[in-house]
């Protein structure tokens, strides 16, 4: 029997957008090319739902999602996106340890397709708690302080009120940078964050954390390996600046519960595109709310993945900022998406 909400087709693509040029995200690495993984589902009614994630960075080889999608597409073809949460939970039950990029993207695409079919934005399906959220610019890593300051000027000129530096990750350089950024923007109202990509030792993180407490910084993100919850809990207790995990390697309700229960983080960070989709991250946000902790959703990368996290933030609340990678034109994927049709 035909059901207009049934999934009739699943497609997966890998795209290397010409406008997204190689970039550093720590000063300890060479520039890397970020690619686009796309999942698109089509319903019996002709409506399409889309989701995306990036690939090409360490630990996420190009084409990984395509292989994952082949493995479980038969389990959802012919099923209705009205039952998207049950379908995702069934797949997760046998998926093993995350992150789960392909599965997560499929879940996000199902939510997208259902919302489009119902004529209701996903954030309203989730509760519609907010209609606006502040965006912060999420920069590349640079090799000079002046390059960071020039990026800061450009982001401020574009209207951002928050800026996250993907740090050089050389401790002396990083300390010089945060003081220089605070001096240059004094009185502007700009707020800053730092992302360290799990590159620091405990002592280095403690030193930077002490400095950030006296400066206009919101949080210190991913200073240590995500799996070291004991060290995170010790650091979180020792510094006043908020401490966040990277949010893209240690995922799943049990891991999030362990981290929150141990006091490892001041705010939870996760991403619908690799942590079980909108279905699972909605549960993570409810869990964080129960612990009295805010959520800062990772939304680095391309627009469909960013949109999923934006809908979660607007729909469920309890998150203060939305991440925008810079430069924006590198992540404008309209042309790449059209080529993938």
pLDDT for 294? 96
Instruction: Give DSSP secondary structure letters for 220-235.
Output: EE--S-TT-HHHHHHH
* 9: its two tokens: 């087709």
**H or E element at residue 166:** strand 162-166
- CATH architecture of the domain covering 7-121: 2-Layer Sandwich (3.30)
Q: Given this structure, which CATH class describes domain 124-340?
A: alpha beta
Q: Tell me whether residue 130 is exposed, middle or buried, using C-beta atoms within 10 angstroms of its C-beta: 0 to 12, 13 to 18, 19 or more.
A: middle
Q: Which residues pair with 267 in a beta bridge?
A: 294
What DSSP character marks residue 31?
Answer: -
In whole angstroms, what is the distance from residue 241 CA to residue 82 CA? Answer: 42
Per-residue model confidence as pLDDT tens for the chain (341 residues): 568 999 999 999 888 777 778 889 999 889 988 888 899 999 999 999 999 988 776 666 777 788 888 888 899 999 999 999 999 999 999 999 999 999 999 999 999 999 999 999 999 999 999 999 999 999 999 999 999 999 999 999 999 999 999 999 999 999 999 999 999 999 999 999 999 999 999 999 999 999 999 999 999 999 999 999 999 999 999 999 999 999 988 999 999 999 999 999 999 999 999 999 999 999 999 999 999 999 999 998 887 888 999 999 999 999 999 999 998 887 776 644 444 34
* Cα distance between the two ends of the chain: 28
pLDDT for 341? 42
Nearest CA-CA partner of 104 in 12, 167, 16, 176: 12
Q: What is residue 191's three-state secondary structure?
A: strand
Q: What is residue 218's three-state secondary structure?
A: strand
pTM comes to 0.94
- The answer to whether 304 and 50 are in contact (CB under 8 A) is yes
Annotated domain spans of the chain: 7-121, 124-340
* 133: its two tokens: 């959220």
Q: Tell me whether residue 29 is exposed, middle or buried, using C-beta atoms within 10 angstroms of its C-beta: 0 to 12, 13 to 18, 19 or more.
A: middle
Task: Output the CA torsion 256→310→54→276 (10° steps).
Answer: 40
């Amino acid at each position: 029997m035909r059901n207009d909400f049934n999934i009739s087709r699943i497609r997966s693509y890998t795209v290397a957008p010409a406008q997204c040029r190689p970039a550093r995200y720590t000063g300890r690495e060479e520039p890397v090319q970020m690619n686009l993984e796309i999942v698109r589902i089509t319903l019996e009614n002709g409506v399409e739902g889309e989701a995306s994630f990036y690939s090409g960075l360490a630990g996420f080889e190009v084409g990984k999602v395509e292989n994952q999608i082949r493995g479980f597409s038969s389990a959802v073809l012919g099923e209705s996106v009205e039952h998207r949460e049950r379908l995702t939970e069934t797949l997760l039950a046998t998926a093993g340890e995350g992150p789960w990029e392909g599965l997560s993207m499929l879940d996000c695409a199902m939510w997208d397709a259902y919302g489009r079919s119902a004529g209701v934005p996903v954030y309203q399906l989730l509760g519609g708690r907010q209609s606006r959220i502040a965006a912060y610019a999420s920069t590349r890593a640079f090799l000079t302080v002046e390059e960071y300051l020039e990026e800061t000027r450009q982001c401020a000129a574009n209207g951002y009120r928050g800026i996250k530096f993907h740090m050089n990750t050389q401790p002396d350089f990083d300390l010089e940078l945060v003081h220089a950024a605070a001096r240059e923007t004094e009185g502007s109202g700009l707020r800053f964050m730092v992302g360290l990509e799990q590159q620091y030792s405990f002592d280095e993180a403690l030193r930077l954390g002490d400095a950030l407490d006296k400066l206009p910084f919101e949080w210190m993100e991913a200073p240590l390996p995500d799996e070291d919850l004991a060290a995170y809990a010790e650091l979180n207790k020792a510094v006043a600046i908020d401490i966040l995990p990277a949010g893209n390697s240690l995922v799943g309700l049990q891991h999030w519960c362990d981290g929150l229960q141990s006091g490892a983080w001041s705010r939870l960070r996760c991403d619908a595109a690799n942590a079980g989709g909108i279905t699972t991250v909605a549960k993570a946000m409810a869990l964080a709310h129960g612990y009295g902790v805010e959520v800062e959703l990772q939304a680095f990368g391309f627009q469909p993945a960013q949109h999923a996290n934006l809908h979660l933030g607007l729909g469920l609340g309890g998150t203060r900022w939305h991440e925008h990678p810079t430069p924006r034109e590198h992540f404008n994927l309209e042309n790449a998406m059209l080529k993938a049709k």
